[in-house]
A and B are shown apart, each in its own frame.
Chain A
Amino acid sequence: MTRYVVNRVALGLVVLVGLAFATFLIIHLVPGDPVRQALGAQASPQQIEEVRDQLGLNDPLPTQFWDYLSNSATGQFGDSFVQSSAVSDLVGDRIAPSALLIAYGLLVALLIGVPLAIVAALKPNSVIDHSARLVATLSFATPLFWLGLVLALVFGLELDIFPVSGYETGIDGILKTLTLPALALGLALTVFVLRILRSSLLEVLQSDYIDAARARGLSEGRIVAKHAMRNAVMPTVTIMAIQVGFLISGAVVLEQVFQIPGVGSLLVESVERRDYEVVQTLVLLAGATVVFVNLAADVLQAAIDPRVRLAGR
């Protein structure tokens, strides 16, 4: 088990260094200079060069990358030149709304997806089964910003249950302001929970040990809850872990639509201004989250199912 975890962690680190390299290269190679953007049309070439020198932007790219990598490894993310603040402060101020939105969106997907999947698996090819999958697939296929706007229009403007945009803290505030974006995020994600859980449940429900449980006269509810779900839930956990990337990118879009001051909207603003330090840090952070969640899902699987951790031997 230890060896398995060590292997997975090492692999995760390689992925992160690769990601850091790719992000660094992309943001430095796309046209657009942060100094020029900040100083504007009238700044003289000398002024621009001076500032670029101060910021180390005239150093060779490998040197800049090495500085960035070694600083990031020790948790120093530098200062945003554009915003004249430490990157850690900028990100720290805005991480909570995004994390809450993602967690809330995941919860919504599970709350809607799991019961529907069970019903669909118990009555395959019924009207409920087909309509649930149709609606879930359509929600996934709908562009998130549009889904968000429609929810804001219906539940905010027409029904006046929630505010159409904004963000407030505290349990009340979060429930008030994050419910609509989380619903949009959750609805888009439901299709994964629904389809994967449904098909694994269907498979499990047809296996011999379920027949045996049925023969012992256990109720259908007990069979699903105690026997089938245990085995069926694993693929769902894996798929959900993979979808963390989708959740993060979804949060970026929804933060714009709902005016949530999270890291997603910070990322968009920073890309527009070529704020290198902030962009690099945020992409690395998002990457680290995806790597960590996948790692956790793998370890969890390995812990539950010995076949996984022994497969490599």
Chain B
Amino acid sequence: MSKTYRAVLIALACALLAVTVISCGGDDDDSGEDIALSGLQEGATTTGACEGEPVKGGNLVYARQSITENFNSLKIVNGNGDIFANNLIFQGLVRNDPKGSTKIEGAVADSWEVANDGMSYTFHIRPGIKFSNGQPVTAEDVKFSLDRFGNPKINVTLAAVAVGYKSTTIVDDETVRVDLTQPVPAFLYNISIWPGFIVPKNLVEQDEDAFFKDPVGTGPFMVKELVRGSHLTFEPNTNYWEEGKPYLDSLRWDFATDSNSRLLALKDGQAQIADGIPFSQVNSLKNSGEFVVQAAKVPYFVGLWFNHKREPLADVNVRQAMQYALNREEINKSIFRGVGTIPNSVLQQLKYDAPPSEVPPYPFDLAKAKETIAKSKFPDGFSISLKYPAGYDYYKQLGLYLQNAWDQIGIKVKLIEADQSSLTDSFYKGDYDLAFPYAQFTSDLPIPDEYAQFVAEPRSGLNGFFSFWEDPQITKMVREFVSNPDEDERAEQWPEIQKALNEQTPWINVMDLPFITAHAKNVCGTDINALGSDQLENTWMAKAE
């Protein structure tokens, strides 16, 4: 080999290496350095360029992890991709506080009264409120929409929120009364989300398919164009009822399912805001000083489900031992880069949850784990499989971590990676031992009523949300809680249920997680409600400094 030849080869190798280094450099943060959640922005930006009053104008491009497929609120096919778009187009009679608290406030209705027995609600339609096509919202429209909400043949995917709905009566042009078959203290929350959205009766009756292709609602934005698989463009609803909102001239959602593509679009300035920021990228984005990384507290958790038809998992000592064997501090630091919150509930973070001082989380205590499993019917351990969703680095890491942690108490875990469809299929059929059933496991409501009934109400037909767990005592407590119209009593009842569930540990909440978004510094008012939905009517763009 001649000298020049060798030199060329070495140069080529170096060039290749250089490319590798550029592409990896600064992007991946593998230091495992702890970032406290407090280090991230928790609410919308109010400092720097965003100080002062919101200004009108600006075209915002948002790189989104989920694709939007359709605008029919009763036919959601692509999870948050559809739901969050619907949230900008339509509204219910009431809505969740756009600022992120668990309070309910008026939307299509500006006020309401609840009967003393909790069996009926009277809503007053907001005076002068119009759909985006300029047509006024009538009591007829409200009745029509709520009857669809209450019809399990139409409201198929989320019939549970319509529990107790009896009928809607038109009292006068601006007033409707909703009657229930039983007190449902969660009712206002139930109608605040997509199945309860108000649509114009005449247009939906005329041609439902055509209507939902070119929808008309009372939300802050209207659909301008949906290019399937590519982007969705919104324009402001000029008839929107909140004075001066929305601020933006236009809004475009670019569908970028690949997290690297989202980050590149953000860094390149093609998009000014991106959601679904991978945990491994939080630090480098924050340290770049160019972006604000925002963590929204939402009911989102890493739920690890136990199949109670498997004998070892039906033993509470086994389940508790598995809890004690987890070092969540370590998991949070090394896998979630410190953005997680150590849970003190087996459900998502919800309203009425007691603080850790009242209901303590399971501590990491290997000695206690060994002691507890020794008391079980399986003191020598057993073998079991864990199914987890493919395509997420953190589930793979978590699987390996759990395999190692439970090995120390004699539980041999076999890891099985599965795509989401196969995974949910085997989950619904009870064909699993341990499973992370959903890659993004969130609650539809910010209150515990929905999931408490999914898991502890046999009448829901969901078999303890496919865990096949039952506990008559907890079922009784849940029934009292979900039918008690007294807010103060509910606030006392829930922590008891939270505590009982935690002790029973029918499954494991490994970690509570926030939704992480990142945006350019001149993007302001990036409010996210308690369900993780972007309140883009509040978003405005500051003039460049």
Interface residues of A in 111-161 (CB under 8 A from B): 127, 130-131, 134-135, 138, 146, 149-150, 152-154, 156-158, 160
- Asked if B70 and A84 make an inter-chain contact with CB atoms under 8 angstroms apart, the answer reads yes
- Asked if B8 and A153 make an inter-chain contact with CB atoms under 8 angstroms apart, the answer reads no
Complex: A135 Cα to B19 Cα, angstroms = 13
- Size bracket of the A interface: 35 or more
Select from chain B the residue with minimum beta-carbon distance to A97: B230
Q: B174 at the A/B interface (Cβ < 8 Å)? A: no
Query: Nearest Cβ in chain A — how far from B209, in angstroms?
Result: 8
B202: chain A residues within 8 A (beta carbon)? none
- Asked if A165 and B270 make an inter-chain contact with CB atoms under 8 angstroms apart, the answer reads yes
Select from chain B the residue with minimum beta-carbon distance to A260: B230
Interface residues of B in 1-39 (CB under 8 A from A): 4-5, 8-9, 12, 16, 19, 22-23
Selected contact of B261 from candidates A39, A93, A164, CB within 8 Å: A164
Selected contact of A154 from candidates B22, B157, B229, CB within 8 Å: B22
Q: B46 at the A/B interface (Cβ < 8 Å)? A: no
| Contact A149 to B421, CB < 8 A, known contacts A127-B8, A269-B67 | no
- Asked if A273 and B156 make an inter-chain contact with CB atoms under 8 angstroms apart, the answer reads no
- Asked if A30 and B67 make an inter-chain contact with CB atoms under 8 angstroms apart, the answer reads no
| Contact A38 to B77, CB < 8 A, known contacts A94-B229, A265-B229 | yes
- Asked if A94 and B228 make an inter-chain contact with CB atoms under 8 angstroms apart, the answer reads yes
Which of B396-404, B422-430, B498-506 lies at the binding interface? B422-430
| Contact A259 to B230, CB < 8 A, known contacts A131-B8, A149-B23, A152-B264 | yes
Which of B116-124, B134-142, B249-257 lies at the binding interface? B249-257
Select from chain A the residue with minimum beta-carbon distance to B466: A41
Q: Mark B239-258, 1 if CB is under 8 A from A, else 0.
A: 00000000000000011111
Complex: A42 Cα to B258 Cα, angstroms = 29
B419: chain A residues within 8 A (beta carbon)? 32, 272
- Asked if A259 and B420 make an inter-chain contact with CB atoms under 8 angstroms apart, the answer reads no
Q: Is the interface of A mostly helix, strand, loop or mixed?
A: helix
- Asked if B462 and A42 make an inter-chain contact with CB atoms under 8 angstroms apart, the answer reads yes
Selected contact of B23 from candidates A39, A94, A150, A260, CB within 8 Å: A150
Q: Mark A21-57, 1 if CB is under 8 A from B, else 0.
A: 0000000001111001111111110010000000000
Selected contact of A83 from candidates B4, B12, B77, B461, CB within 8 Å: B77
Complex: A130 Cα to B159 Cα, angstroms = 67
- Asked if A36 and B425 make an inter-chain contact with CB atoms under 8 angstroms apart, the answer reads yes
Complex: A40 Cα to B67 Cα, angstroms = 17
Query: Nearest Cβ in chain B — how far from A45, in angstroms?
Result: 8
A146: chain B residues within 8 A (beta carbon)? 23
Complex: A82 Cα to B421 Cα, angstroms = 13
Complex: A153 Cα to B428 Cα, angstroms = 42
User: Residues of A at under 8 Å CB distance from B?
Assistant: 30-33, 36-44, 47, 82-84, 90, 93-94, 127, 130-131, 134-135, 138, 146, 149-150, 152-154, 156-158, 160, 163-167, 256-262, 265-266, 269, 272-274
Closest 6 CB pairs of A and B: A32-B421, A261-B230, A261-B229, A164-B264, A31-B422, A31-B425
Instruction: Report 19 cross-chain contacts, Cβ distance below 8 Å, ordered by A residue.
Output: A31-B426, A32-B421, A32-B424, A39-B156, A42-B157, A44-B461, A47-B156, A127-B4, A138-B16, A149-B23, A164-B265, A164-B267, A165-B265, A166-B254, A166-B270, A257-B258, A261-B229, A272-B420, A273-B77
